[in-house]
Amino acid sequence: MSNDIAIELIGVEKVYEPGTPAEVHALRGIDLVVRRGDFIAIMGPSGSGKTTLLNIIGTMDKPTRGKVIIEGEDVTDYTEAQLAHIRRDKIGFVFQFFNLITTLTALENVMLPMLLTGKYSEKEAREKAFYLLTLVGLEERANHKPRELSGGEQQRVAIARALANHPAFVLMDEPTGALDTVTGSRIMALCKVLNEEFGQTFIVVTHDPGVARTAKKIYHIRDGRLFKTPPKDLLDYAWEPGREEKRRVMRVYLRILREDLAALRRRARSGDLSEEEYRRMKQTILRELELIKRGLER
């Protein structure tokens, strides 16, 4: 397998409640190759299998038949504990209905995945979560609980949370479903900047052609089957983030990466990391800082 393949689905089928009168064939043989740095939109009407497909790509659910391969590893038969690891390390997921923790504030919801990795002190996670909320335009709502937020605000918290650990793959289920057009396009612009500047891979399922236009590749799902040929009207124009939008995102990311660096130094000092791990992780962060510097100079 060529190593620019990030995720591969082979012959994936999903049958809910098999053998009962309620049996549903939600996916009927899906083959999909996702390459590193892809930005894929999967479009389809309600009930076509979008959420089922995304859940299987994100290892939240298992196929009835077929294989799921992530970075060359066949994870189809992994245990829940193994999958939880993969999700924590590699995948940021934006659920269709957000799944925020109702007893935590917006800020704490975004902090949580960082704290679960054990890589951040509470203070570091707090600072970084605040910057992420800034990116989605919610810094003034940081201390509100989900029930004090509008649907669109909750959705943006969920997006900030998905970005928290700088995952290689960001999977989004109808990420603009609760957003007005302007906010929706700003969120997609944010995703596009992250994709273009850091090579983060995005897979977005949506029924909104405006969202799909942000993507580099569009697939269509109908009745559990995936199709490549997009209708012409979707290809006619692509949405581009403006120069200012891009610079804004990059500036906030500069601060986020500095927090990462501080957290890493602290862990190295406290003996939490081997010399080797420290060097490797520091290299990664420095490389991203370099990318930002170049991005800002452009």
The span of 48-56, 69-77, 147-155, 158-166 binding ligand ADP (CB under 6 A) equals 48-56
Identity of the residue, 49 or 113, whose beta carbon is nearer to ligand ADP in the bound complex: 49
Number of chain residues interacting with Mg ion (CB under 5 A): 3
Q: Is the CB of residue 67 less than 8 Å from the CB of residue 9? A: yes
Distance of CA 205 to the CA centre of its chain: 11
Of the residues 17, 77, 233, 297, which one makes contact with ligand ADP according to CB under 6 A: 17
CA 237 – CA 214 distance, rounded (Å): 9
CA 138 – CA 129 distance, rounded (Å): 11
Is there binding between residue 206 and Mg ion (CB under 5 A)? Answer: no
Is there binding between residue 92 and ligand ADP (CB under 6 A)? Answer: no
Q: How many CB atoms lie within 10 A of CB 223?
A: 13
Q: Of these partners, ligand ADP, Mg ion, none, which one is at the site of residue 16 (CB under 5 to 8 Å by kind)?
A: ligand ADP
Of the residues 32, 50, 126, 193, which one makes contact with ligand ADP according to CB under 6 A: 50
Identity of the residue, 48 or 165, whose beta carbon is nearer to Mg ion in the bound complex: 48
Of the residues 51, 165, 176, 214, which one makes contact with Mg ion according to CB under 5 A: 51
Q: Which residues contact 115 (CB under 8 A, 6 or more apart)?
A: 122, 125
Distance of CA 32 to the CA centre of its chain: 18
Is there binding between residue 26 and ligand ADP (CB under 6 A)? Answer: yes
Is there binding between residue 51 and ligand ADP (CB under 6 A)? Answer: yes
> Terminus-to-terminus CA distance in the chain, angstroms?
35
Shortest reach from residue 153's CB to Mg ion, in Å: 21
Q: Of these partners, Mg ion, ligand ADP, none, which one is at the site of residue 105 (CB under 5 to 8 Å by kind)?
A: none
Identity of the residue, 44 or 175, whose beta carbon is nearer to ligand ADP in the bound complex: 44
Residues that bind Mg ion (CB under 5 A): 50-51, 96
Residues that bind ligand ADP (CB under 6 A): 16-17, 24, 26, 44, 46-52
